[in-house]
Copies of this chain bind each other. A is one copy, B any other.
Protein backbone atom coordinates (compact mmCIF):
# COMPACT_ATOMS: atom_id res chain seq x y z
CA UNK A 1 0.00 0.00 0.00
CA UNK A 2 1.18 3.48 -0.80
CA UNK A 3 1.36 6.48 1.52
CA UNK A 4 -1.99 8.26 2.06
CA UNK A 5 -2.21 10.89 -0.71
CA UNK A 6 -3.37 13.52 1.77
CA UNK A 7 -0.06 13.38 3.66
CA UNK A 8 2.11 16.48 3.43
CA UNK A 9 5.77 15.59 3.63
CA UNK A 10 8.64 17.77 4.82
CA UNK A 11 12.10 16.89 3.58
CA UNK A 12 14.95 18.27 5.66
CA UNK A 13 18.16 18.31 3.63
CA UNK A 14 17.69 18.49 -0.13
CA UNK A 15 20.77 16.60 -1.25
CA UNK A 16 20.88 13.58 -3.56
CA UNK A 17 18.62 11.43 -1.40
CA UNK A 18 16.39 14.20 -0.01
CA UNK A 19 15.95 15.62 -3.50
CA UNK A 20 15.12 12.20 -4.94
CA UNK A 21 12.53 11.62 -2.17
CA UNK A 22 10.99 15.01 -2.95
CA UNK A 23 10.80 14.29 -6.69
CA UNK A 24 9.26 10.86 -6.15
CA UNK A 25 6.67 12.16 -3.67
CA UNK A 26 5.72 15.15 -5.82
CA UNK A 27 5.16 12.87 -8.82
CA UNK A 28 2.77 10.83 -6.69
CA UNK A 29 0.74 13.93 -5.86
CA UNK A 30 1.97 14.75 -2.36
CA UNK A 31 2.47 18.27 -1.05
CA UNK A 32 6.21 18.48 -0.37
CA UNK A 33 7.99 21.09 1.78
CA UNK A 34 11.76 21.39 1.86
CA UNK A 35 14.37 22.84 4.18
CA UNK A 36 18.00 23.20 3.19
CA UNK A 37 20.63 25.54 4.58
CA UNK A 38 21.86 26.35 1.08
CA UNK A 39 19.76 29.10 -0.58
CA UNK A 40 20.76 27.99 -4.08
CA UNK A 41 19.52 24.48 -3.41
CA UNK A 42 16.17 25.78 -2.18
CA UNK A 43 15.69 28.13 -5.12
CA UNK A 44 16.67 25.36 -7.56
CA UNK A 45 14.19 22.96 -5.92
CA UNK A 46 11.43 25.59 -6.14
CA UNK A 47 12.15 26.60 -9.72
CA UNK A 48 12.23 22.97 -10.87
CA UNK A 49 8.98 22.17 -9.07
CA UNK A 50 10.70 19.59 -6.86
CA UNK A 51 9.07 21.09 -3.75
CA UNK A 52 5.97 23.20 -3.16
CA UNK A 53 7.52 25.45 -0.56
CA UNK A 54 11.05 25.76 0.74
CA UNK A 55 13.10 27.66 3.30
CA UNK A 56 16.71 27.83 4.45
CA UNK A 57 16.11 27.91 8.18
CA UNK A 58 13.50 25.87 10.04
CA UNK A 59 10.16 27.69 10.05
CA UNK A 60 7.77 26.46 12.79
CA UNK A 61 4.65 27.12 10.72
CA UNK A 62 5.89 24.98 7.82
CA UNK A 63 7.15 22.23 10.07
CA UNK A 64 3.78 22.09 11.86
CA UNK A 65 1.96 21.36 8.60
CA UNK A 66 3.89 18.15 7.84
CA UNK A 67 2.31 14.76 8.53
CA UNK A 68 5.59 13.03 7.74
CA UNK A 69 9.07 14.49 8.19
CA UNK A 70 12.04 12.90 6.45
CA UNK A 71 15.42 14.00 7.76
CA UNK A 72 18.03 13.60 5.04
CA UNK A 73 20.89 15.46 6.70
CA UNK A 74 24.48 14.42 7.41
CA UNK A 75 24.44 11.97 10.34
CA UNK A 76 25.98 14.36 12.90
CA UNK A 77 23.22 16.93 12.33
CA UNK A 78 20.29 14.53 12.62
CA UNK A 79 19.74 14.18 16.38
CA UNK A 80 20.12 17.90 17.05
CA UNK A 81 17.74 18.87 14.26
CA UNK A 82 14.98 16.65 15.63
CA UNK A 83 15.43 17.78 19.21
CA UNK A 84 15.78 21.47 18.30
CA UNK A 85 12.55 21.45 16.30
CA UNK A 86 10.37 18.95 18.13
CA UNK A 87 8.17 21.65 19.65
CA UNK A 88 7.02 22.61 16.14
CA UNK A 89 5.95 19.09 15.09
CA UNK A 90 2.29 18.50 14.33
CA UNK A 91 0.66 16.19 16.86
CA UNK A 92 0.86 12.67 15.44
CA UNK A 93 3.45 13.51 12.78
CA UNK A 94 5.86 10.68 12.09
CA UNK A 95 9.58 11.44 11.79
CA UNK A 96 11.94 9.27 9.80
CA UNK A 97 15.47 9.44 8.38
CA UNK A 98 17.69 8.02 5.62
CA UNK A 99 20.93 7.49 7.55
CA UNK A 100 23.21 4.54 6.94
CA UNK A 101 24.01 3.81 10.61
CA UNK A 102 21.32 3.57 13.29
CA UNK A 103 22.05 2.11 16.73
CA UNK A 104 23.13 5.04 18.84
CA UNK A 105 21.10 7.72 17.08
CA UNK A 106 17.70 5.97 17.10
CA UNK A 107 17.74 5.44 20.85
CA UNK A 108 18.91 9.01 21.54
CA UNK A 109 16.08 10.47 19.48
CA UNK A 110 13.39 8.15 20.79
CA UNK A 111 14.39 8.80 24.40
CA UNK A 112 14.08 12.56 23.93
CA UNK A 113 11.06 12.95 21.68
CA UNK A 114 7.70 13.80 23.28
CA UNK A 115 4.72 11.44 23.34
CA UNK A 116 2.95 13.25 20.51
CA UNK A 117 5.41 12.10 17.87
CA UNK A 118 7.12 8.96 16.81
CA UNK A 119 10.55 8.56 15.28
CA UNK A 120 11.05 5.49 13.14
CA UNK A 121 14.37 4.86 11.42
CA UNK A 122 14.67 3.75 7.80
CA UNK A 123 17.48 3.10 5.37
CA UNK A 124 16.90 3.45 1.63
CA UNK A 125 19.72 1.38 0.09
CA UNK A 126 20.25 3.50 -2.96
CA UNK A 127 22.73 6.14 -3.97
CA UNK A 128 24.99 7.47 -6.67
CA UNK A 129 28.66 8.49 -6.84
CA UNK A 130 27.58 12.10 -7.33
CA UNK A 131 25.68 14.28 -4.92
CA UNK A 132 23.53 17.35 -4.53
CA UNK A 133 19.97 18.08 -5.63
CA UNK A 134 20.99 18.52 -9.27
CA UNK A 135 21.91 14.84 -9.39
CA UNK A 136 18.77 13.70 -7.59
CA UNK A 137 16.57 11.25 -9.44
CA UNK A 138 13.60 9.32 -8.10
CA UNK A 139 14.49 6.42 -10.40
CA UNK A 140 17.44 5.42 -8.18
CA UNK A 141 14.91 3.73 -5.87
CA UNK A 142 13.42 1.41 -8.48
CA UNK A 143 14.64 -2.13 -7.86
CA UNK A 144 16.43 -1.10 -4.66
CA UNK A 145 16.10 -2.42 -1.10
CA UNK A 146 14.46 -0.43 1.69
CA UNK A 147 15.07 -1.38 5.30
CA UNK A 148 12.85 -0.25 8.14
CA UNK A 149 14.78 -0.24 11.42
CA UNK A 150 12.20 -0.26 14.22
CA UNK A 151 12.77 -0.55 17.96
CA UNK A 152 10.40 -1.73 20.71
CA UNK A 153 9.21 1.86 20.95
CA UNK A 154 7.69 1.85 17.47
CA UNK A 155 4.03 1.24 16.73
CA UNK A 156 2.47 -0.85 14.00
CA UNK A 157 0.84 2.28 12.55
CA UNK A 158 4.14 4.10 12.12
CA UNK A 159 5.70 1.04 10.49
CA UNK A 160 2.78 0.95 8.04
CA UNK A 161 3.30 4.62 7.17
CA UNK A 162 6.99 4.05 6.41
CA UNK A 163 6.15 0.97 4.34
CA UNK A 164 3.72 3.21 2.46
CA UNK A 165 6.51 5.74 1.90
CA UNK A 166 8.81 3.04 0.50
CA UNK A 167 6.05 1.72 -1.76
CA UNK A 168 5.26 5.21 -3.01
CA UNK A 169 8.92 5.74 -3.91
CA UNK A 170 9.01 2.47 -5.83
CA UNK A 171 11.45 0.38 -3.77
CA UNK A 172 11.48 -3.27 -4.84
CA UNK A 173 11.94 -4.98 -1.49
CA UNK A 174 10.98 -3.69 1.92
CA UNK A 175 12.37 -5.49 4.94
CA UNK A 176 12.72 -4.88 8.63
CA UNK A 177 15.66 -5.28 11.00
CA UNK A 178 16.52 -4.09 14.53
CA UNK A 179 19.17 -1.33 14.83
CA UNK A 180 22.11 -3.45 16.01
CA UNK A 181 21.58 -6.16 13.39
CA UNK A 182 21.17 -3.45 10.75
CA UNK A 183 24.48 -1.83 11.64
CA UNK A 184 26.31 -5.17 11.66
CA UNK A 185 24.87 -6.04 8.27
CA UNK A 186 25.74 -2.59 6.88
CA UNK A 187 29.27 -2.98 8.23
CA UNK A 188 29.56 -5.92 5.84
CA UNK A 189 27.54 -5.26 2.68
CA UNK A 190 28.09 -1.51 2.45
CA UNK A 191 30.95 -0.21 4.58
CA UNK A 192 33.42 -3.07 4.06
CA UNK A 193 32.87 -2.85 0.30
CA UNK A 194 33.58 0.89 0.36
CA UNK A 195 36.80 0.32 2.37
CA UNK A 196 37.92 -2.26 -0.19
CA UNK A 197 37.17 0.02 -3.13
CA UNK A 198 39.07 2.90 -1.51
CA UNK A 199 42.12 0.73 -0.78
CA UNK A 200 42.11 -0.69 -4.29
CA UNK A 201 42.43 2.88 -5.58
CA UNK A 202 45.03 3.96 -3.01
CA UNK A 203 47.27 0.85 -2.81
CA UNK A 204 48.99 1.50 -6.16
CA UNK A 205 49.41 4.37 -8.54
CA UNK A 206 46.91 3.51 -11.24
CA UNK A 207 46.50 6.67 -13.29
CA UNK A 208 48.44 5.15 -16.20
CA UNK A 209 46.18 2.08 -16.32
CA UNK A 210 43.07 3.66 -17.80
CA UNK A 211 43.75 2.16 -21.24
CA UNK A 212 44.25 -1.33 -19.88
CA UNK A 213 41.34 -1.64 -17.51
CA UNK A 214 38.65 -4.25 -17.91
CA UNK A 215 35.20 -4.16 -16.38
CA UNK A 216 36.37 -5.93 -13.20
CA UNK A 217 38.48 -3.04 -11.98
CA UNK A 218 35.87 -0.45 -12.94
CA UNK A 219 33.15 -2.41 -11.10
CA UNK A 220 35.17 -2.89 -7.94
CA UNK A 221 36.09 0.77 -7.76
CA UNK A 222 32.87 2.50 -8.87
CA UNK A 223 32.10 3.38 -5.23
CA UNK A 224 35.67 4.56 -4.64
CA UNK A 225 34.47 7.92 -5.94
CA UNK A 226 33.36 8.65 -2.43
CA UNK A 227 32.01 11.66 -0.51
CA UNK A 228 34.65 11.84 2.23
CA UNK A 229 32.58 14.01 4.57
CA UNK A 230 29.63 11.64 4.77
CA UNK A 231 31.49 8.34 4.69
CA UNK A 232 34.10 9.23 7.30
CA UNK A 233 31.18 10.04 9.63
CA UNK A 234 29.40 6.78 8.83
CA UNK A 235 32.56 4.69 9.32
CA UNK A 236 33.28 6.30 12.70
CA UNK A 237 29.66 5.90 13.84
CA UNK A 238 29.87 2.17 13.11
CA UNK A 239 33.52 1.68 14.00
CA UNK A 240 33.31 -1.56 16.02
CA UNK A 241 31.10 -3.42 13.56
CA UNK A 242 33.19 -2.27 10.61
CA UNK A 243 36.52 -3.16 12.25
CA UNK A 244 35.17 -6.65 12.89
CA UNK A 245 34.21 -7.10 9.25
CA UNK A 246 37.54 -5.69 8.06
CA UNK A 247 39.36 -8.16 10.30
CA UNK A 248 37.39 -11.09 8.90
CA UNK A 249 38.15 -9.96 5.38
CA UNK A 250 41.89 -9.53 6.09
CA UNK A 251 42.00 -13.05 7.57
CA UNK A 252 40.28 -14.56 4.55
CA UNK A 253 42.38 -12.62 2.07
CA UNK A 254 45.57 -13.65 3.88
CA UNK A 255 44.46 -17.28 3.77
CA UNK A 256 43.96 -16.97 0.00
CA UNK A 257 47.44 -15.43 -0.23
CA UNK A 258 48.93 -18.45 1.59
CA UNK A 259 47.04 -20.88 -0.66
CA UNK A 260 48.43 -19.20 -3.77
CA UNK A 261 51.93 -18.93 -2.32
CA UNK A 262 52.11 -22.67 -1.69
CA UNK A 263 50.52 -23.35 -5.12
CA UNK A 264 47.61 -25.31 -3.66
CA UNK A 265 45.39 -25.54 -6.72
CA UNK A 266 42.78 -27.74 -5.00
CA UNK A 267 42.23 -25.33 -2.09
CA UNK A 268 42.09 -22.41 -4.51
CA UNK A 269 39.40 -24.10 -6.59
CA UNK A 270 37.38 -24.87 -3.46
CA UNK A 271 37.34 -21.19 -2.52
CA UNK A 272 36.31 -20.27 -6.07
CA UNK A 273 33.53 -22.85 -6.16
CA UNK A 274 32.11 -21.58 -2.83
CA UNK A 275 32.41 -18.01 -4.06
CA UNK A 276 30.64 -18.73 -7.36
CA UNK A 277 27.87 -20.70 -5.65
CA UNK A 278 27.14 -17.97 -3.11
CA UNK A 279 27.32 -15.17 -5.64
CA UNK A 280 24.82 -16.92 -7.90
CA UNK A 281 22.15 -16.35 -5.23
CA UNK A 282 22.54 -12.62 -5.54
CA UNK A 283 21.55 -12.63 -9.19
CA UNK A 284 18.10 -13.96 -8.42
CA UNK A 285 15.28 -11.57 -7.88
CA UNK A 286 13.19 -12.81 -4.93
CA UNK A 287 9.55 -12.98 -5.96
CA UNK A 288 8.16 -12.18 -2.55
CA UNK A 289 8.04 -8.54 -1.64
CA UNK A 290 7.42 -6.73 1.61
CA UNK A 291 8.02 -7.95 5.13
Contact = CB atoms under 8 A, between A and B. Distances in A.
Copies of this polypeptide in the complex: 2
Given A193-B217, A200-B249, A252-B202, A145 B212 contact: yes
Contacts of A127: 214-215
Contacts of A281: 207, 210
A221 interface: yes
Contacts of A220: 193, 196-197, 219-220, 223
Contacts of A147: 212
A224 interface: yes
B223 A219 contact: yes
A80 B228 CA distance: 52
A56 B211 CA distance: 37
B250 A201 contact: no
Interface in A153-195: 173, 175, 177, 185, 188-190, 192-195
Contact of A271 (B198, B222, B283): B198
A278 B188 CA distance: 24
Contacts of A276: 224-228
11 contacts: A175-B211, A177-B212, A188-B206, A193-B217, A195-B253, A197-B275, A199-B252, A204-B248, A232-B265, A232-B269, A242-B260
Given A203-B252, A229-B269, 9 more contacts: A147-B212, A175-B212, A193-B200, A228-B269, A228-B276, A232-B269, A243-B260, A246-B260, A253-B253
Interface of A: 125-127, 144-145, 147, 173, 175, 177, 185, 188-190, 192-204, 206-207, 209-229, 231-232, 235-236, 239, 242-243, 245-254, 256-257, 260-261, 263, 265, 268-269, 271-276, 278-284, 286
Q: What 3 A-B pairs come out closest when comparing CB atoms?
A: A228-B272, A203-B252, A125-B214
